[in-house]
Structure 1
């Protein structure tokens, strides 16, 4: 160890060391991921975090962006709006994030949107509702809106199944889930379908027997359920327990497409229909590499949440790269509006948007032999 006996020289040396450390750290690009790893949205947030981390690790292994590594800072908001607010401010003010990936849900995304807009920091969110755009131009989103996704479900049901009489059950506390219901209902009715009932629940509900008894007495072909997967599973199980005929099928939004939903419902969900933007096994090079690398990294196959997160990270990285070798928050925002045809593993395989509204295709899935598969 070198010992400096001259205090002036010692201070100068310390300054040089500190400056070198700061310069080295400055080479990293800070990106904060705020996800609901725990709490009610943990079924999605945990997968989101894994998908994002894999994409960032792969980018850093290739040398980063313009030779600079991404410093990924991970946060868990616990599916709580208050915590999401705290973490949003922390990401902007303390972590100095160039971009924030997340939050995981429409509810938390809409809550923190004014913060990102006021402090002029891009948030690339998993929110589905376009309500996230209302505070201003700094809010972006990866996932397609219910207005894009749900009509595909309605079209499939009308063209490919005999289902014509449907009851709707939806979470009235979640704007995205309300929109999924609405954008299924309207084209379904316009195409000749009948909405027999429209029933609201809240995200904390668990006793659905009164609702199940009510619906069992109706002449139905299907029940459309726009809630998170675990709650949808509870509704289906209690409908069966109440005596809902086995011929009645279940239709859901992307929120229903979870392994926990399949595990909880078992045979009761066989034949269910859901819209999604991902299914494993698509014959594209990027998809094959993603699925192999995800399984190697995490020990299991990716679900649609992990695939969405991996795709979100790819879009975020594309915007940072397009912002140049010394990107600023403003440059990233401007670059985001210009990027097109970003390779992703969901939908058609290419991410595009118009005025921040994404449209990249979707798939219709059905539950077959206890697994989600492409619908015939």
Structure 2
């Protein structure tokens, strides 16, 4: 998502304190403690926003990655070598990101870099990754043009999350097949590239599937009164509303829509993900569905084991999607190193490209060799009476 991934502010900020993040740029010791030095370790860079305006997101993802590295080392490491994490703080600054990425690649000699959390941070090191043949991987950078720019594949750039436009496509399919929708209306935040991208993808897929989009209306960030535009939409005949955006406005939209008598399902993307959504919408949060990367209510054994381990490590805190994505990204990098012909950037990159059936907390995926994006299912989360009633994988 584009608004600096705002839905994790509260959870990630609380875990910043639990993690004891110092915000320094000193490299860390080997993950899990007791790792051998020199030829008995394999270095992986952690390059995240530990301070600055998006520190909550970077810290959360870094915490997930570090927990995964500790588990890997406790189980014997990768091909007999312990993972040594070399961690730096980008300070949420793209220039700093470029400088530190160069240091990780040329001085620290890491075989791969995990992070940053944002698309802008990842883009700041694309050229360096190609020059130095070091793969860079993000668990949360969702910009569609990150791994493929102007039709050209960025050979050393990968991610473990799906792209923004995929969410619109998935929800259009879900609305048609699961909600039996034949006619939709779209209400989008025109101040957000994220929301506009999701809306365009939904519109395209819904029509391609034989559906009709009866109307498309707009709102803007920070708006609080949606009665006029909702009344306008109410005059249409439709089976589903698609409303991509962020929870601050969405909670109010849902509440006001239900008050006006709009009973059709309301759907959207991962911008819905926040405890604040239920607070704002209250009991009106019924027949509401959105796409997400992960759900803490998922009963899959891999997910529950991750949650239990996370709570044990972080004072009973419940992990959010960023923690899960960081965790999966570290496991993906380690799995690629294990399968690579050698622990060099070029060979690790090749192994990443050939990934099939990687099983993580956020889903099982193949890497698309043409885009370096994961081919994975989204998690659909549904609400009834203000509480989660649906958690299912869908693609």
TM above 0.5, yes or no, is: yes
**Structure 1 residue 334 corresponds to structure 2 residue 350:** yes
Q: CA deviation at 1:260?
A: 4.6
Query: Alpha-carbon deviations, 1:277-314, whole Å to 9, x = none?
Result: 42235454433321211111112222233222222211
Match of 2:310 in 1: 294
Residue in 2 that maps onto 1:133: 147
Q: Give the one of 212, 236, 247 matched to 2:251.
A: 236
Say yes or no: does 1:57 pair with 2:76: no
> When the two structures are superposed, what TM-score results if normalisation uses the length of structure 1?
0.77
Output the CA distance in 2 between the equivalents of 1:216 and 1:45: 40
RMSD over equivalenced CA pairs, Å:
3.3
Partner of 1:5: none
Q: Choose which of 144, 152, 177 in structure 1 pairs with 2:162.
A: 144
Name which of 216, 240, 247 aligns with 1:197.
216
Q: 2:188 aligns with which of 145, 169, 193?
A: 169
Tell which structure's C-alpha radius of gyration is larger: 1
- Partners of 1:261 and 1:42 lie apart in 2 by 22
In structure 2, what is the Cα distance between the partners aligned to 1:189 and 1:89? 46
Change (3 A) 1:157 1:42: farther
Which residue of structure 2 aligns with residue 3 of structure 1? none
The alignment's TM-score, normalised by the length of structure 2, stands at 0.74
State which of 263, 272, 290 in structure 1 corresponds to 2:288. Answer: 272
Q: Which runs of 5+ in 2 are unaligned?
A: 1-35
Q: Does the aligned pair in 1 maintain the 2:185–2:241 contact within 8 Å? A: yes
Length, aligned pairs only: 343
Match of 2:360 among 338, 341, 344: 344
Task: Please give the per-residue CA displacement for 1:349-373, whole angstroms capped at 9, x wherever unaligned.
Answer: x321221231122232112354444
Contact 1:267/1:370 (<8 A) preserved: yes
Matched, 1:97 2:110: yes
- Alpha-carbon distance between aligned partners in 2 of 1:76 and 1:69, rounded to the nearest angstrom: 23
What is the CA–CA distance in structure 2 between the aligned matches of 1:35 and 1:339, rounded to whole Å?
A: 24
Does the aligned pair in 1 maintain the 2:255–2:280 contact within 8 Å? no
**Normalized per residue, which structure has more helix?**
1
Residues 75/236 of structure 1: CA separation in 2 closer, same or farther (3 Å cut): farther
SS at match of 1:103: coil
- Provide the rounded CA distance (Å) in 1 between the counterparts of 2:103 and 2:214: 46
Higher relative contact order (CA 8 A, sep 6+): 2
- Structure 2 CA distance, aligned partners of 1:304 and 1:284? 15
* Structure 1 position 251 matched with structure 2 position 272: no
Alpha carbons of structure 1 residues 78 and 213: separation in structure 2 relative to 1, 3 Å: farther
Provide the C-alpha distance between the structure 1 equivalents of 2:228 and 2:87, rounded to a whole number of angstroms. Answer: 44
Deviation at 1:168, TM superposition (A): 3.2
C-alpha spacing 1:260/1:312, structure 2 compared with 1 (3 Å): farther
Higher alpha-carbon deviation: 114-123 or 70-79: 70-79
Give per-residue Cα distances to partners, 1:243-273, cap 9 Å, x unaligned: 9626365422124323454455544544321
Structure 1 residues 235 and 346, CA, compared in 2 at 3 Å: closer, same or farther?
closer
Q: Is the 8 A contact 1:103 1:109 kept in 2?
A: yes
User: In the alignment, which of 233, 258, 261 is matched to residue 218 of structure 1?
Assistant: 233
For the Cα contact (< 8 Å) 1:212–1:235, is it kept in 2?
no
Change (3 A) 1:245 1:364: same
State how far apart, in whole Å, the 2-side matches of 1:261 and 1:338 are.
39
CA distance in 2, matches of 1:225, 1:80: 31
The one of 337, 353, 362 equivalent to 2:367 is 353
Counterparts of 1:370 and 1:316 in 2: how far apart (Å)?
38
Q: Which residue of 2 aligns with 1:68?
A: 81
Distance in 2 (CA, whole Å) between partners of 1:330 and 1:362 is 30
1:47 alignment partner, one of 60, 74, 79:
60
